[in-house]
Protein backbone atom coordinates (compact mmCIF):
# COMPACT_ATOMS: atom_id res chain seq x y z
CA UNK A 1 0.00 0.00 0.00
CA UNK A 2 2.83 2.48 0.89
CA UNK A 3 4.30 2.26 -2.60
CA UNK A 4 1.05 3.25 -4.32
CA UNK A 5 0.17 6.77 -5.35
CA UNK A 6 -2.70 8.16 -3.23
CA UNK A 7 -5.01 8.36 -6.23
CA UNK A 8 -4.72 4.62 -6.86
CA UNK A 9 -5.57 3.49 -3.32
CA UNK A 10 -9.39 3.61 -3.68
CA UNK A 11 -9.15 1.51 -6.88
CA UNK A 12 -6.92 -1.01 -5.14
CA UNK A 13 -9.36 -1.18 -2.23
CA UNK A 14 -12.32 -1.49 -4.60
CA UNK A 15 -10.75 -4.59 -6.15
CA UNK A 16 -9.97 -6.11 -2.76
CA UNK A 17 -13.50 -5.56 -1.43
CA UNK A 18 -14.96 -6.66 -4.76
CA UNK A 19 -13.18 -10.01 -4.46
CA UNK A 20 -14.51 -10.45 -0.93
CA UNK A 21 -18.04 -9.96 -2.27
CA UNK A 22 -17.57 -12.24 -5.27
CA UNK A 23 -16.08 -15.12 -3.30
CA UNK A 24 -18.74 -14.83 -0.60
CA UNK A 25 -16.46 -13.67 2.21
CA UNK A 26 -18.93 -10.80 2.38
CA UNK A 27 -22.32 -12.42 1.84
CA UNK A 28 -25.60 -10.97 0.49
CA UNK A 29 -27.10 -8.52 2.95
CA UNK A 30 -24.02 -8.41 5.15
CA UNK A 31 -23.05 -4.95 6.42
CA UNK A 32 -19.78 -3.66 4.97
CA UNK A 33 -18.40 -1.69 7.90
CA UNK A 34 -15.89 1.00 7.08
CA UNK A 35 -14.18 0.59 10.45
CA UNK A 36 -13.60 -3.13 9.82
CA UNK A 37 -12.14 -2.39 6.39
CA UNK A 38 -9.87 0.32 7.81
CA UNK A 39 -8.42 -2.24 10.19
CA UNK A 40 -8.21 -4.98 7.57
CA UNK A 41 -6.38 -2.89 4.99
CA UNK A 42 -4.52 -0.55 7.35
CA UNK A 43 -5.80 2.58 5.68
CA UNK A 44 -7.95 5.62 6.45
CA UNK A 45 -11.70 5.95 6.05
CA UNK A 46 -11.65 8.32 3.06
CA UNK A 47 -10.27 5.86 0.44
CA UNK A 48 -12.43 3.09 1.92
CA UNK A 49 -15.53 5.21 1.45
CA UNK A 50 -14.51 6.13 -2.10
CA UNK A 51 -13.98 2.45 -2.93
CA UNK A 52 -17.41 1.62 -1.55
CA UNK A 53 -19.01 4.39 -3.60
CA UNK A 54 -17.48 2.87 -6.74
CA UNK A 55 -18.83 -0.54 -5.77
CA UNK A 56 -22.22 1.06 -5.22
CA UNK A 57 -22.12 2.39 -8.77
CA UNK A 58 -21.37 -1.10 -10.09
CA UNK A 59 -24.28 -2.53 -8.08
CA UNK A 60 -22.33 -4.77 -5.73
CA UNK A 61 -23.14 -2.78 -2.58
CA UNK A 62 -26.00 -0.54 -1.54
CA UNK A 63 -26.03 2.40 0.85
CA UNK A 64 -28.78 3.41 3.27
CA UNK A 65 -28.76 6.68 5.17
CA UNK A 66 -27.60 6.18 8.78
CA UNK A 67 -27.11 2.44 8.20
CA UNK A 68 -24.15 2.54 5.89
CA UNK A 69 -23.17 0.05 3.20
CA UNK A 70 -24.16 -3.57 2.80
CA UNK A 71 -23.69 -6.23 0.14
CA UNK A 72 -26.50 -5.95 -2.36
CA UNK A 73 -29.38 -8.37 -1.96
CA UNK A 74 -31.29 -9.43 -5.09
CA UNK A 75 -34.87 -10.60 -5.23
CA UNK A 76 -35.64 -13.69 -7.29
CA UNK A 77 -37.32 -11.50 -9.91
CA UNK A 78 -34.27 -9.24 -10.15
CA UNK A 79 -32.03 -12.23 -10.79
CA UNK A 80 -34.38 -13.62 -13.43
CA UNK A 81 -34.64 -10.22 -15.13
CA UNK A 82 -30.86 -9.78 -15.08
CA UNK A 83 -30.27 -13.19 -16.62
CA UNK A 84 -32.90 -12.80 -19.32
CA UNK A 85 -31.56 -9.39 -20.30
CA UNK A 86 -27.95 -10.58 -20.35
CA UNK A 87 -28.91 -13.59 -22.46
CA UNK A 88 -30.54 -11.35 -25.06
CA UNK A 89 -27.79 -8.72 -25.10
CA UNK A 90 -24.98 -11.26 -25.42
CA UNK A 91 -26.90 -13.05 -28.16
CA UNK A 92 -27.35 -9.68 -29.88
CA UNK A 93 -23.59 -9.10 -29.61
CA UNK A 94 -22.99 -12.37 -31.43
CA UNK A 95 -25.41 -11.37 -34.19
CA UNK A 96 -23.54 -8.06 -34.49
CA UNK A 97 -20.42 -9.98 -35.49
CA UNK A 98 -21.97 -10.51 -38.91
CA UNK A 99 -21.09 -6.86 -39.60
CA UNK A 100 -17.51 -7.15 -38.42
CA UNK A 101 -15.99 -9.04 -41.31
CA UNK A 102 -13.04 -11.38 -40.79
CA UNK A 103 -13.24 -13.22 -37.47
CA UNK A 104 -10.01 -15.26 -37.52
CA UNK A 105 -8.30 -13.20 -34.79
CA UNK A 106 -11.37 -13.27 -32.58
CA UNK A 107 -11.72 -17.02 -32.97
CA UNK A 108 -8.07 -17.52 -31.98
CA UNK A 109 -8.59 -15.42 -28.85
CA UNK A 110 -11.73 -17.42 -28.04
CA UNK A 111 -9.79 -20.65 -28.45
CA UNK A 112 -7.18 -19.34 -26.01
CA UNK A 113 -9.94 -18.52 -23.51
CA UNK A 114 -11.43 -21.97 -23.99
CA UNK A 115 -8.05 -23.60 -23.36
CA UNK A 116 -7.55 -21.63 -20.14
CA UNK A 117 -11.12 -22.49 -19.15
CA UNK A 118 -10.25 -26.16 -19.51
CA UNK A 119 -7.14 -25.71 -17.37
CA UNK A 120 -9.16 -23.98 -14.64
CA UNK A 121 -11.72 -26.79 -14.76
CA UNK A 122 -9.02 -29.44 -14.42
CA UNK A 123 -7.47 -27.55 -11.49
CA UNK A 124 -10.93 -27.07 -9.94
CA UNK A 125 -10.15 -23.35 -9.71
CA UNK A 126 -13.59 -21.72 -9.54
CA UNK A 127 -12.34 -18.13 -9.65
CA UNK A 128 -10.10 -18.71 -12.67
CA UNK A 129 -12.92 -20.63 -14.34
CA UNK A 130 -15.35 -17.76 -13.80
CA UNK A 131 -12.76 -15.25 -15.05
CA UNK A 132 -12.29 -17.13 -18.32
CA UNK A 133 -16.03 -17.42 -18.94
CA UNK A 134 -16.26 -13.66 -18.52
CA UNK A 135 -13.21 -13.13 -20.76
CA UNK A 136 -14.69 -15.35 -23.47
CA UNK A 137 -17.84 -13.29 -23.86
CA UNK A 138 -16.01 -10.00 -23.30
CA UNK A 139 -13.90 -10.81 -26.37
CA UNK A 140 -17.07 -11.14 -28.44
CA UNK A 141 -18.66 -7.94 -27.13
CA UNK A 142 -15.44 -5.94 -27.56
CA UNK A 143 -15.16 -7.12 -31.15
CA UNK A 144 -18.52 -5.50 -31.99
CA UNK A 145 -17.09 -2.05 -31.17
CA UNK A 146 -20.54 -1.16 -29.82
CA UNK A 147 -19.88 1.12 -26.84
CA UNK A 148 -23.45 1.27 -25.42
CA UNK A 149 -23.72 -2.51 -25.63
CA UNK A 150 -20.32 -2.95 -24.00
CA UNK A 151 -21.23 -0.63 -21.13
CA UNK A 152 -24.61 -2.27 -20.52
CA UNK A 153 -23.18 -5.78 -20.51
CA UNK A 154 -20.24 -4.77 -18.33
CA UNK A 155 -22.56 -3.69 -15.53
CA UNK A 156 -24.87 -6.69 -15.91
CA UNK A 157 -21.92 -9.06 -15.88
CA UNK A 158 -20.38 -7.38 -12.84
CA UNK A 159 -23.60 -7.67 -10.84
CA UNK A 160 -23.82 -11.35 -11.76
CA UNK A 161 -20.28 -12.24 -10.66
CA UNK A 162 -21.15 -13.09 -7.02
CA UNK A 163 -24.14 -15.12 -8.20
CA UNK A 164 -22.05 -17.05 -10.69
CA UNK A 165 -19.18 -17.68 -8.31
CA UNK A 166 -21.60 -18.84 -5.63
CA UNK A 167 -22.82 -21.52 -8.01
CA UNK A 168 -19.52 -22.46 -9.69
CA UNK A 169 -17.67 -22.81 -6.39
CA UNK A 170 -20.28 -25.35 -5.29
CA UNK A 171 -20.89 -27.21 -8.56
CA UNK A 172 -17.94 -26.70 -10.88
CA UNK A 173 -18.04 -30.36 -11.89
CA UNK A 174 -21.57 -29.83 -13.26
CA UNK A 175 -20.74 -26.76 -15.36
CA UNK A 176 -21.40 -26.95 -19.09
CA UNK A 177 -19.38 -23.86 -20.02
CA UNK A 178 -16.64 -25.86 -21.75
CA UNK A 179 -19.24 -27.53 -23.94
CA UNK A 180 -21.04 -24.30 -24.82
CA UNK A 181 -17.93 -22.23 -25.51
CA UNK A 182 -16.58 -24.99 -27.76
CA UNK A 183 -19.82 -25.12 -29.75
CA UNK A 184 -20.00 -21.33 -30.03
CA UNK A 185 -16.45 -21.21 -31.42
CA UNK A 186 -17.45 -23.80 -34.01
CA UNK A 187 -20.59 -21.92 -35.00
CA UNK A 188 -18.67 -18.64 -35.36
CA UNK A 189 -15.99 -20.34 -37.47
CA UNK A 190 -18.80 -21.36 -39.83
CA UNK A 191 -20.32 -17.85 -39.58
CA UNK A 192 -23.52 -19.40 -38.31
CA UNK A 193 -24.38 -16.44 -36.09
CA UNK A 194 -27.96 -17.55 -35.45
CA UNK A 195 -26.80 -20.87 -34.03
CA UNK A 196 -24.08 -19.21 -31.96
CA UNK A 197 -26.61 -16.70 -30.55
CA UNK A 198 -29.03 -19.52 -29.69
CA UNK A 199 -26.25 -21.37 -27.87
CA UNK A 200 -25.42 -18.20 -25.95
CA UNK A 201 -29.00 -17.80 -24.77
CA UNK A 202 -29.08 -21.44 -23.71
CA UNK A 203 -25.79 -21.09 -21.87
CA UNK A 204 -27.13 -18.22 -19.76
CA UNK A 205 -30.59 -19.60 -19.11
CA UNK A 206 -29.63 -23.21 -18.42
CA UNK A 207 -27.86 -22.00 -15.27
CA UNK A 208 -30.70 -19.86 -13.95
CA UNK A 209 -32.57 -22.45 -11.81
CA UNK A 210 -29.34 -23.52 -10.10
CA UNK A 211 -28.28 -19.87 -9.65
CA UNK A 212 -31.56 -19.13 -7.87
CA UNK A 213 -31.26 -22.18 -5.65
CA UNK A 214 -27.62 -21.51 -4.70
CA UNK A 215 -28.39 -17.86 -3.95
CA UNK A 216 -31.35 -18.80 -1.76
CA UNK A 217 -29.07 -21.18 0.15
CA UNK A 218 -26.47 -18.43 0.64
CA UNK A 219 -29.14 -16.04 1.90
CA UNK A 220 -30.51 -18.63 4.32
CA UNK A 221 -27.02 -19.28 5.67
CA UNK A 222 -26.46 -15.56 6.18
CA UNK A 223 -29.76 -15.23 8.07
CA UNK A 224 -28.89 -18.19 10.32
CA UNK A 225 -25.50 -16.72 11.17
CA UNK A 226 -27.04 -13.31 11.85
CA UNK A 227 -29.59 -14.89 14.17
CA UNK A 228 -26.84 -16.71 16.08
CA UNK A 229 -24.83 -13.52 16.66
- Write the pLDDT tens digit of every residue in 147-180: 999 999 999 999 999 999 999 998 899 999 999 9
Residue 80: pLDDT band (50, 70, 90) is very high
pLDDT of residue 5: 38
Domain boundary (50, 73, 96) is at 73
* Boundaries of domain holding 36: 6-73
Do residue 21 and residue 46 come from a single domain? yes
Do residue 61 and residue 85 come from a single domain? no
Contacts of 32 (CB under 8 A, 6+ apart): 17, 26, 52, 61, 68, 69, 70, 71
Domain boundary (15, 40, 73) is at 73
Residue 67: pLDDT band (50, 70, 90) is confident
Do residue 114 and residue 125 come from a single domain? yes
CB atoms inside a 10 Å sphere around CB 190:
10
Nearest C-alpha neighbor of 93 from the set 131, 132, 149, 135: 149
User: CATH number for the domain including 128?
Assistant: 1.20.120.530
Amino acid sequence: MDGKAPGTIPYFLREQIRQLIIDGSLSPGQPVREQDLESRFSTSRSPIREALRMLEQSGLVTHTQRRGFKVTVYTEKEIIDQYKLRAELEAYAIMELAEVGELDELIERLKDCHARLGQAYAAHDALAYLTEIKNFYNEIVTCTNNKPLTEALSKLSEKAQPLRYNLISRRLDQSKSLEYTYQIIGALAERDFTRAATLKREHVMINLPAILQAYAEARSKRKRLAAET
